[in-house]
Structure 1
Amino acid sequence: MADRPYTVLSCGMSLDGYLDSASGERLVLSNRADLDRVDAVRATCDAILVGAATVRNDDPRLTVRAARRRTARVARGRTPSPIKVTVTGSGDLDPRTRFFTHGGGTKLVYAASAAATACSNLHSVATVVDAGATVTMRWLSEDLHARGVRRLMVEGGGHVHTQFLTDDLADELHLVVAPFFVGDSQAVRFVADGAFPFHAGRRARLAQVRQLGDVVLLRYGLSDRFTQVEPDRDGDGGPPAESVGQ
């Protein structure tokens, strides 16, 4: 198998497993302490990936927010924020979204061949990669590795997380649980149906549990590349410190 980046899946969900509501309004699952933790993890990564639906619906910046973390990255010869990556099957992306307009640096759009021409309006703000008839996360991961990405953070949404998990491409999972229910089966779940490598007969390794205000972080090791370390909580993007949770 070709090389791929060390891949961290990061997700927040409700107590009943939903990423968002069905109302069209963005559902706030995290809190300030957890957002700072996510920022620290971002600072350790070479690239951040989200699906096109997340770009359209959430309009994320996907940048390292803390100035000290950006400064530390630059001091180590890196860009202030990681490369931004998205994937689309339709090409329906607006170049005015914050994914493209905030943070500078490289933006990569992996598009199915049929959608690549629809991305012509993105060529001034991103590199569009024709990923073939159907974009697969394995091919995308190998292409990112060839571009120098050694540590990848995947921040959703559910369809993208499902593909990484069912194709056994994730090395660790950061799952944050918010203290409320959505209670609407029309809402978006953490993952869709699929054949997952972890099931009742093969349990994922729970490496850490940490309370962050009113949410809880569950950190799972999903591959033999997983190590019992976490990003420096100071968040400067430096060497990770040993995890204190089991």
Structure 2
Amino acid sequence: MHVVVNAAQSVDGKLATRRREQLRISGPEDFDRVDRVRAAADAVLVGVGTVLADDPHLTLDEEDRRVQRLRSGRSGDPARVVVDSTGRTPTDARILDDAATTYLLAAEALDPERREALTAAGAEVVVAGAERVDLAAAFDELSERGIDRLMVEGGGEVIYSCFAAELVDELHVYVGSMIVGGRDAPTLADGEGFVDSFPRLKLVDTVRLDDGIVLSYQVDAADETPGAT
């Protein structure tokens, strides 16, 4: 599986405010770029924190891109994936509607009744890991379901976990011209953080969009930090 991480952050590296409120960092040009990246993916992944904070739909904005996918024999919209170890996704979340297939990555600790409720609401539950989702195992399960290209949209905990598990191939970051501040505001890669060695990236492209810049990186697998989810 090829994993592409995409995010928008402020100049000081924040994804949102300390209140975890949705923040408009980029503009129309970058929104269109993100829609293109989504259209090229087989599935789009977020963490349950993003679902709880933003209630995203994760479908395509441009109908032409949906039509092109259908003409190529694919579903109109990419599948949607939520990393949710204990099943906190609300059963009325937009991501569980019938616009596209939704996979919910959960741990074995997921309550059976909660699993049944989420399945009834439209989720296809994929269990991987005991107390927390084992991303490497979960991604293998997604590959078996035909997911060859996965777009990860965040948040910071999920992005960190993907890097820690050595699952990331590309990183695209839109840096908007604003300062957010706040020691408790989420960053691009939260989680425990790396202390001994660090994932190494190779800058391959820069593009100015709106009043910001998109930095595109490839992950240097030879230097990437080993770790677990």
TM-score clears 0.5: yes
TM normalised by structure 2 equals 0.89
Structure 2 equivalent of residue 215 of structure 1: 212
Q: Matches of 1:197 and 1:174 in 2, distance apart?
A: 24
Gap change, CA 1:81 and 1:197, over 3 Å in 2? farther
What residue in structure 2 maps to residue 36 of structure 1? 32
Q: Distance in 2 between matches of 1:197 and 1:64?
A: 39
Q: Quote the Cα distance in structure 1 between the aligned partners of 2:183 and 2:117.
A: 35
* 2:58 aligned residue: 62
Aligned to 1:188: 186
Provide, for residues 102-139 of structure 1, a one-character-per-residue CA deviation record: whole Å limited to 9, x for no partner: x6221110111112522322112111122230312111
- Report what 1:169 is aligned to: 167
Q: Distance in 2 between matches of 1:116 and 1:150?
A: 30
Amino acid at match of 2:19: S
Between 1:122-131 and 1:30-39, the stretch displaced more is 122-131
Alpha-carbon spacing, 1:100–1:162, altered in 2? closer, same or farther (3 Å): same
- Measured after TM superposition, the shift of residue 223 of structure 1 is 4.6
Q: Which runs of 5+ in 2 are unaligned?
A: 222-229
Aligned to 1:109: 104
Following superposition, the deviation at residue 198 of structure 1 comes to: 7.2
CA RMSD of aligned residues (A): 1.8
Aligned pairs for 1:84-95 (under 5 A) are 84-95=80-91
Distance in 2 (alpha carbons) for counterparts of 1:96 and 1:220: 36
Shift of 1:40: 0.5
| 2:141 aligned partner | 143
For the Cα contact (< 8 Å) 1:20–1:187, is it kept in 2?
yes
1:204 alignment partner in structure 2: 201
- CA–CA distance in structure 2, aligned partners of residues 22 and 180 of structure 1: 15
Correspondent of 1:132 among 124, 129, 133? 129
Q: In the alignment, is the contact (CA less than 8 A) between 1:206 and 1:219 conserved in 2?
A: yes
Query: What is the count of residue pairs matched by the alignment?
Result: 217
Deviation for aligned residue 1:197:
9.7
Structure 1 residues 136-180: Cα deviation after superposition (integer angstroms, max 9, x where no partner)? 211111111111111000000101100111221111000111111
Asked if structure 2 preserves the Cα contact closer than 8 Å seen for 1:198 and 1:204, the reply is no
**Aligned equivalent of 1:13:** 9
Matched residue type, 1:195? F
Deviation at 1:195, TM superposition (A): 3.0
Give the structure-1-normalised TM-score: 0.83
Matches of 2:4 and 2:62 in 1, distance apart? 20
Residues 1:207 and 1:24: Cα distance change in structure 2 (over 3 Å): closer
Report deviation, 1:28: 1.1
Q: Which amino acid aligns with 2:71?
A: A
Say whether the 8 Å CA contact 2:59–2:99 is kept in structure 1: no
Q: Percent identity?
A: 36
Partner of 2:22: 26
After superposition, the C-alpha distances for 1:77-97 in whole angstroms (9 at most, x for unaligned) are: 000011101111221111211
Change in CA separation of 1:194 and 1:57 when aligned onto 2, cut-off 3 Å: same
**Letter in structure 1 aligned against 2:189:** V
Instruction: Note closer, same or farther for the CA distance 1:87–1:197 as it changes in structure 2 (3 Å cut).
Output: farther
CA distance in 1, matches of 2:44, 2:123: 14
Distance 1:189 1:44 in 2: 26
